[in-house]
Structure 1
Amino acid sequence: MSHERLTTVLLGAGKSGKLYYEALRKSQLCELVAVISSNGRSARALGEESSHAAVGAGGDWLAYSPDLVVVASPHSYHGAQVAKSLDAGAHVIVDKPAAMNFNQLAKLVDAAANAVGSLYCGFTQRCNDGMTACRHAIRPRFRELRRIMIDQTLRRDDVYYDGWKGSVAMAGGGVLLNQAIHALDLVSYLTDAPVVFRQVDLLRERKPGIETTVRASYAAGGLVPISLSATTDAARELRQEILFEYNDRTKVIVLGSEHPSWKPAAPGDETAARRELEAEPDAYGPSHDNLVSDVAMAILSSGQSRYKLELESCLTAHTAVYQTKGDTLCRSSL
């Protein structure tokens, strides 16, 4: 491995792949040498913008001897691509979810435990300075929390899937694996506590395995109640909101799903706080830039990532989502 830059391969060139592609192009710590997609067309479209990146359809990405592999392919490909890359000694960033179910995740836990390289999860909502400051504000008052409420009022029509995942089938799950997992992970990160599944109150599916509406209950650290209300069938999309309410009725509001912002609110001041937060940008891109930079610095310094993106710090949201979907825990070690 070079001590200055990481030789990097990107797997996947859809919308998620494009975000990682732009982040890798900007990075001073990564040298992007190849972009690979299943049919090669989307990779070639990206490769035309960068003379130093090769493109390809499938094939053996390990032929490029990468220090780092970024997996931004469809969810169903993640498990095999991550395991193969770790087995070859590479470090890996995998876009969330790392795996589709408990059995796949268990295999990745084993692979990561025995690997030379490290495995990092692409929970980009963690990756901004605002969320770091929010974490410092929430953690000392964790035992004062009365409840946590997550609201994801989203619209995911065919136009969305055409531009993001290509089709509903290619999305790899519904609102749980695609959206709710981000919010549950962010709650776990901000509270520094595992999210524990309690019960499902409502689950509607577009087709088996693709949920459109979910209402479920969890607990942070097994103590603080969490309510999740998530839908992709809304007539109008709103920003994701996570509300932390304390026993004294003061609150912390976290708004946004790409580059979230936060603000404390005294009782009665919630509406004004939301208006201020809605004026903040929630753009794609900056959080991916921060994630790539954070992981690259952790690898090159042989240290830990600032945003705690290592697999062992990202298991709780996966576990909670799988249980909400009715997937049975296959191993107590997860």
Structure 2
Amino acid sequence: MAKLRAAIIGAGQIARKSHIPNYLSMGDEVEIVGICDRNIEAAMSAAAENGIPDWFSDHKEMLKMVKPDIVNVCVPNKFHYAAVFDSLDAGCHVLCEKPPGISYKEAELMMKKSEECKRLLSYGFHLRHGENVRIMKEKALNGEFGQIYFVKAEWLRRRGIPGWGNFTNSDIQGGGPLIDIGVHMLDIAVYLMDYPEIDHVSATSHDLIGKRKGVGLMGDWDPDKFNVEDSLFGFIRFKDGSSLSISNSFALNMKEKDRKNLEIYGDRLGASIFPPETFGEERSMLTNTEYPFAKDDDLHFKSLLNFVKACRGEAELLVTAKQGAYVQKMVEALYESSLRGEPVRL
């Protein structure tokens, strides 16, 4: 089978450090035929550094000229919708970086467009591709957890406000840590819970640390331009009676520099994802089981490889457009609840 012709929209950090090198490592599967960026110098330099034959400042022109089979969208969140929609309209399969967009409406429209065009649309929820998640999903499918009634998800940073890019600009990103790192944990949680119907969402958010100068462990940020939350804490209740809590921060006065985990509670078995462990009872004894063999290579690579294989019809797409829209709906509701100061019913 011929190589898939890939085009990249966005020549920033995620494209240069993940998408481009990973595609170049798939020599027999993919060839990168074009890259574009509104900053034409960024596109030119990325092309020169990686042997990409064509570069552009406009993605519509690139789609018309190089006629790719697949497109990777690596632009800031605000611009996901237009890039994805136009790429699908051009007949391409699309992998877009997370989150799907700024709003649930955008995610839903992109999902419907992919269905209309009969093209695959996936999102860069690369943590879903981990061996730890695969193990727990298999246990959930086998009924080993019994009834999963509560999941606790958190990704907290002590002083992890990114000092580069648009991460503190709400207009460009749509929010702060929830839409940047919290979406990963929400994605894994509801994947393991099998996407129960949402009843209501409640959340509080805070920006007390980010709006003043402080110690930065991920570069210095400008507090005068900080207009996102530095932390958000939320609770989601589902119509089947189960629930999910989410805690995330760019800046929080805690001991660790970074804490990431997801805990699953079922009536037969419980588990922790980072690292993978299960907690249960067997023969009147309490049991704890570790999974030291659950080692992962580059999860970004696994995400891209799954997308490529799915486009070739050789694998099932792990992250679908419908699942991405579901996660976007939760993100939007959490932000709405924190803004309104009351629960949001869906």
Q: Name the TM-score, length of structure 1 as normaliser.
A: 0.81
Taking the TM superposition and a 5 Å limit, the aligned residue runs for 1:261-280 are 261-266=275-280
Asked if structure 1 preserves the Cα contact closer than 8 Å seen for 2:200 and 2:238, the reply is no
Asked if structure 2 preserves the Cα contact closer than 8 Å seen for 1:196 and 1:316, the reply is no
Query: Which has the larger displacement, 183-192 or 100-109?
Result: 100-109
Q: Is the partner of 2:316 in helix, strand or coil?
A: coil
Asked if structure 1 preserves the Cα contact closer than 8 Å seen for 2:230 and 2:249, the reply is yes
Q: Which residue of 2 aligns with 1:215?
A: 233
How far did residue 89 of structure 1 move?
0.7
Q: Which residue of 2 aligns with 1:258?
A: none
How far apart, in 1, do the equivalents of 2:129 and 2:3 lie? 21
How far apart, in 1, do the equivalents of 2:334 and 2:116 lie? 29
Q: Is the partner of 2:326 in helix, strand or coil?
A: helix
Runs of 5+ consecutive residues of structure 1 not aligned to the other structure = 256-260, 329-333
2:270 to 251, 257, 263: 251
How far did residue 281 of structure 1 move?
7.4
Query: Which has the larger displacement, 29-38 or 62-71?
Result: 29-38
How far apart, in 2, do the equivalents of 1:167 and 1:130 lie? 28
Q: Percent identity?
A: 18
1:234 to 252, 270, 283: 252
How far apart, in 2, do the equivalents of 1:144 and 1:281 lie? 27
Q: Which residue of 1 aligns with 2:215?
A: none
| Structure of greater Rg | 2
1:324 to 328, 334, 340: 334
How far apart, in 2, do the equivalents of 1:230 and 1:315 lie? 20
1:178 to 157, 177, 180: 180
How far did residue 134 of structure 1 move?
1.9
How far apart, in 2, do the equivalents of 1:120 and 1:22 lie? 19
Asked if structure 1 preserves the Cα contact closer than 8 Å seen for 2:35 and 2:47, the reply is yes
How far apart, in 1, do the equivalents of 2:197 and 2:53 lie? 40
Q: Is 1:153 aligned to 2:156, yes or no? A: yes
Q: Is 1:310 aligned to 2:309, yes or no? A: no
Opposite residue 35 of structure 2, the aligned amino acid is V
Runs of 5+ consecutive residues of structure 2 not aligned to the other structure = 212-225, 340-345
How far apart, in 2, do the equivalents of 1:14 and 1:126 lie? 23
Q: Is 1:298 aligned to 2:280, yes or no? A: no
Q: Is 1:4 aligned to 2:5, yes or no? A: no
How far apart, in 1, do the equivalents of 2:258 and 2:87 lie? 38
Q: Which residue of 1 aligns with 2:221?
A: none
Opposite residue 56 of structure 2, the aligned amino acid is G
How far did residue 126 of structure 1 move?
0.9
How far did residue 112 of structure 1 move?
1.6
How far apart, in 2, do the equivalents of 1:210 and 1:234 lie? 14
Opposite residue 51 of structure 1, the aligned amino acid is G
Please tell me the root mean square deviation across aligned C-alpha atoms, in Å: 3.0
Asked if structure 1 preserves the Cα contact closer than 8 Å seen for 2:158 and 2:257, the reply is yes
After superposition, the C-alpha distances for 1:51-78 in whole angstroms (9 at most, x for unaligned) are: 2443333352202100001001111110
How far apart, in 2, do the equivalents of 1:304 and 1:89 lie? 20
How far did residue 304 of structure 1 move?
2.8
Asked if structure 1 preserves the Cα contact closer than 8 Å seen for 2:203 and 2:235, the reply is yes
